[in-house]
Structure 1
Amino acid sequence: MQLSAQTLEAPVPAPNQNPPVGSSAWDKACASASFNNYWVEFTWNFPLVNSDNEFILELSDATGDFSSPVELARDDQNNTNFTFFFEFALPTDTRGEGYRMRVRSTSPAITGDVSAPYPMYYRDFDAAILISPDGNGTIPPGGAIEICDGAAVTLAPHNVPGAYSYQYTWYRSGSPISGEKSHQLVVSTAGMYQVEIDYGACSTAGGGTLSNIIDVTTATSQGIAINPPAKTALCSGETEVLNANISGMGYTYTWYKDGSAITSPTVDDDSYTVDASVSGFEGDYQVQIEGSGICLERSAAVTMTNAGNFTVTRDNDANMVVLPGQTTTLSVSTDASSPTYQWYRDGNPVAGATSSSIIVDETETGVYFARVSLSGGSCTSTSVDSDTTTVVVPDSLEVVIDYASTYTACENTSIVLEVSTINALDSGGTRTDVTSSLLASMTYQWQQDGANVGGATSSSISLADISENGSYTLDGSIGSYNTTSNALSVQLLVNETLTINSTSLISCNSSEDITIDTPTDLTGETFDWFRDGVNLNTTEPSIDVTQPGTYQLVLQRNGCPLPSNEIVITPLDPDLITIDPAGVVVFPEGGSRTVTASGGESYRWFDINNVEIATTASVNFTEEGTYAVTAIIGNCEVTRTVEVEYLDTFRVPNVITVNGDGINDQWILPNSYSNKADVNVIIYNDKGEEILNQFDYNNSWPESSMSFPRQNMVFFYKIRNASEVLKQGTITIIR
């Protein structure tokens, strides 16, 4: 007779399986970071599933669709129990009213019935929401927003991560706004607005996420402006009155200059006087009005300028050199209208010097500036002096050279030297910086260790080879002036990579040498070996080491140390080698189990006769016995023993008959659970009361003195070790 296929019933909510037993089953799942633990009861029927079967609890989407189910839990320990419990936690993205569950088996592959729909929410955000315009994070003062002339403002949360992924309930003046579920709300109607996350059946009364209030009011624009003034360019001492285009309405006015308030809010203060005698009067002026039923509104700016305000720019350097027999020209430029000019030397007017430039020879040294005045218009008394120029005839010149960029001896592999300063020195040694005047005009010659460098005749020199190391100076000349610069030392690091290699990076023990060497020929070279920065004081081109540490070779190149790469030798850590599964490997006789070693570079597996059976990381065992694996790490070997046993397939009985006939009168456990000092057997009655709690259980329950007043009494059992529950189920007593 062929047996019918298994039937997998729909899972149903169950009470919490942890004490107190007997609590009510859940009707909705409302999880959070502080609670996310749920149980369902699952029933299936005969025939038995296969021994390698797993039962998998699955969750639909929020509409009950199983197109892409989510696995909640799986169980391979209840293939002989027709009723048992699944424990699960909600995924953190669960939010909806119509989730369903089902169970499927893997061997045979059967999909069970679908449960009723349940509200399920993971309340991952459970704090007060903060809302602001466009969710920009800035809550307006007092939480108030004014919108004008039918405009709108968009409100959105700014403290909810992934705000767009939630459903919301928006409120206006305490009443829900129908159909508004988005994380944004466009508001054009006055009212007091709030929002909370819609967690459906799991929402908290009063709103655990209820936001702050944004009070939106509406108003009408008045079109405030400043009437065009008679003049916007004022001379010193002049005034101009600015008038608002709206007056006599009882509104409050505030006047602004360059965006800052210059008056206090004052009723009917509809005019402001600009006084050009006040320093800094120039700027952009605005007026702002406010009042009942009108918008807080600020006008466009009116720009007031200084009619006598113009600039004078010196066209030459601050310090100029006049060489014997030569002249130099000083000049200025200005944006003034119809300007006049007068040049001054050492504070005195220069006769006839009334143009924008002046020519100076070697007899006319001193400090010069030009005074520019307006020749017409309303501000004719205004004049502006240019910056000064110092004209000198040097007694001698000084050239200063420097490194063009950051330089450290024996670290740089290249460097540029350049003229940094040219000073004109008078007879008393006073320096005047004339670099910009003479840098391009002088003739140069670079010298290395006192000898001219061929072709090096510009104001800079680029060095990039260790053959160019030395002391550098620069000869500079112009006309009858000749000078030699300061000296700069250059010591470049050779552009070379020094590499060291090691036969291993792991020290197995203190008796095994590791060799560190270099492909670089060290014959005739000066070098040092270091461990952890300490010189090993050896002159050997290679070293044999047994101690862990950081090793490096330093070679002297042209007076500069050239360091190699670092090699770190670490001691062997046997705990790096792990076996999965750990402990005794158990599987049913006739079956198999794969064991995987990790942490090594290669592996060798041996049976009890020391015969090599594999060289891979994983081995599939089909026979019980004692095996060993040797893992190789560098030059080191670590050996682990693996015990393989057949599974005791004797089942835990769920029915016993206490009729005294000597057959099935006691609850007999398989050897893997009974008489084990580290296995704890616990039995509860139907009230959840513990009636047996025993380690090293000896198959003696129930004792002959026990009485069972009812037929088919049901007890609950749990078998566990120190870290997990090994088996649990029911025992039915038949008299």
Structure 2
Amino acid sequence: MIKKYNLLALTVTIVLLLSLRAEAQEIDPPIFTFQGTPSLIQKLCIGQNSPNREAIAKANILFATGTEFVLELSDENGVFSNDVTRVLTRFTTPIAIPPGGDIEFPSFTIPTDLRGENYGLRVNVPASSTLSAVQENIPIYYFDFSQIDLDGPNKDANIVVVCNGGSTTLFATPDDFPQYEWTFNGVTIAGETNSTLENVTQTGVYEVIFNIGSCENSTLGDKNQKPIEVINFDTTSITIEQSSPQQFCPSDVKILSTSLKFPEFTYEWFKDGVLIPEFDNHTVTLPESNFAGVYTVTIRTLEGCSISANPVEVINLGSDILTQPPPQI
């Protein structure tokens, strides 16, 4: 009796599997194409310069004129469900598609948030509840080079400053990649795989590498990192690059400059202890007259750090013109 029951159960199981297989095989697994050419390996390494793809699937039964086909993508783990399945594109065929014919999806834009190794692709025919076989394990990464960035507390700064024994945090953008690799002076920082790097105190060059999985050896892998430099005002010294004293004639081009030249900083120049409001850059040109004195410069950062240079004396070898002569003279 038990043997008969097992045989019956096995028969029912085989019939169900054959039924499901027959249904799935009404349409073969779809594949992505680029400008009409299918890839031998189904892998999408997408950049902002070529964001579009097409798709094609083989029909194994007749589909009548007016049939709607929907191209669906799973989540990054290959799961299709009401919550995660997304529609890439859809079209209605203007002609009947015979058995052996191609279901061709015109060009469509790949979503910019796709990053994973195991996407699934299928065709859905809503009118008949027909689902194609699934194209599985497709790596897809969209990587827009114009959007990658690495910042400290102040966005768009190429340098980050710490001071007073403090630390800083570095932020990678985009922040939704599966994994990141951080390096310090070219050496990988073990255990740091998130989009932020906290408690940064060491001075040097930090880089973030965006994990793009199977696309690492593609053209996307050539530009997927961004450097930033961290310096510490507690241990850094700055100078006015021109030694003291400096001697100029009034007709000379008289330039003073600092050893730190970063546009992210605020520069405050002083002459004989008095702030010169119009001098607000790392390099300044002294006026034609009344320029003699002792110059210093203080550099301030948005993080609240500041550092000052040693003074430089400037000597006037000529005489000051306190009042400009009238134009006619």
Give the TM-score range, shorter chain.
Answer: 0.5 to 0.7
Which residue matches 1:170?
A: 182
**Are 1:106 and 2:122 counterparts?**
no
Structure 1 residues 472-526: Cα deviation after superposition (integer angstroms, max 9, x where no partner): xxxxxxxxxxxxxxxxxxxxxxxxxxxxxxxxxxxxxxxxxxxxxxxxxxxxxxx
Partner-residue secondary structure (3-state), 1:164: coil
1:153-192 matched pairs, under 5 angstroms:
153-157=168-172, 163-166=174-177, 168-190=180-202, 191-192=204-205
Identity of aligned residues (%): 26
Structure 1 residue runs of 5 or longer lacking an equivalent are: 221-258, 265-287, 289-294, 299-735
**How many residues get paired?**
216
Distance 2:25 2:125 in 1: 10
Kept after mapping to 2: 8 A contact 1:127/1:209: no
Identify which of 165, 186, 200 aligns with 2:213.
200
Kept after mapping to 1: 8 A contact 2:48/2:145: no
Distance 2:26 2:231 in 1: 57
Q: One-letter code of the match for 1:127?
A: S
Structure 1 residues 406-428: Cα deviation after superposition (integer angstroms, max 9, x where no partner): xxxxxxxxxxxxxxxxxxxxxxx
Residues 14 and 132 (structure 1), Cα distance of their counterparts in 2 relative to 1, 3 Å cut: closer
1:172-571 matched pairs, under 5 angstroms:
172-190=184-202, 191-203=204-216, 204=219, 207-216=222-231
Which residue matches 2:79?
A: 65
Q: One-letter code of the match for 1:164?
A: D
For residue 57 of structure 1, report the CA deviation from its aligned partner. Answer: 1.3
Distance 1:65 1:33 in 2: 26
Residues 200 and 218 (structure 1), Cα distance of their counterparts in 2 relative to 1, 3 Å cut: farther
Kept after mapping to 2: 8 A contact 1:50/1:79: yes
Which residue matches 2:25?
A: 7
Structure 2 residue runs of 5 or longer lacking an equivalent are: 1-18, 236-267, 274-297, 299-304, 309-329
Distance 1:207 1:17 in 2: 24
Distance 2:116 2:198 in 1: 25
**Are 1:36 and 2:55 counterparts?**
no
Which residue matches 2:114?
A: 94
TM-score normalised according to structure 2 size: 0.53
Distance 1:79 1:128 in 2: 42
TM-score normalised according to structure 1 size: 0.26
Residues 24 and 108 (structure 1), Cα distance of their counterparts in 2 relative to 1, 3 Å cut: closer
**Are 1:119 and 2:130 counterparts?**
no
Partner-residue secondary structure (3-state), 1:116: strand
Which residue matches 2:8?
A: none
Identify which of 161, 165, 170 aligns with 1:145.
161
Residues 93 and 128 (structure 1), Cα distance of their counterparts in 2 relative to 1, 3 Å cut: closer
Kept after mapping to 2: 8 A contact 1:132/1:138: yes
Kept after mapping to 2: 8 A contact 1:6/1:44: no
Which residue matches 1:624?
A: none
Instruction: Say which structure is richer in strand.
Output: 1
1:608-619 matched pairs, under 5 angstroms:
none
For residue 260 of structure 1, report the CA deviation from its aligned partner. Answer: 7.4
Residues 26 and 218 (structure 1), Cα distance of their counterparts in 2 relative to 1, 3 Å cut: farther
Instruction: Say which structure is richer in helix.
Output: 2
Kept after mapping to 1: 8 A contact 2:60/2:99: no
Distance 2:28 2:164 in 1: 59
Partner-residue secondary structure (3-state), 2:70: strand
For residue 206 of structure 1, report the CA deviation from its aligned partner. Answer: 6.1
Q: One-letter code of the match for 1:74?
A: R
For residue 214 of structure 1, report the CA deviation from its aligned partner. Answer: 1.0
**Are 1:56 and 2:70 counterparts?**
yes
Partner-residue secondary structure (3-state), 1:212: strand
Residues 185 and 8 (structure 1), Cα distance of their counterparts in 2 relative to 1, 3 Å cut: farther
Distance 1:166 1:114 in 2: 25
Kept after mapping to 2: 8 A contact 1:97/1:118: yes
Q: One-letter code of the match for 1:37?
A: N
Which residue matches 1:587?
A: none
Partner-residue secondary structure (3-state), 2:214: helix
Kept after mapping to 2: 8 A contact 1:126/1:208: yes
Kept after mapping to 2: 8 A contact 1:49/1:108: no
For residue 59 of structure 1, report the CA deviation from its aligned partner. Answer: 0.6
Which residue matches 1:267?
A: none
Distance 2:86 2:34 in 1: 22
Distance 1:101 1:145 in 2: 47
Distance 1:115 1:200 in 2: 19
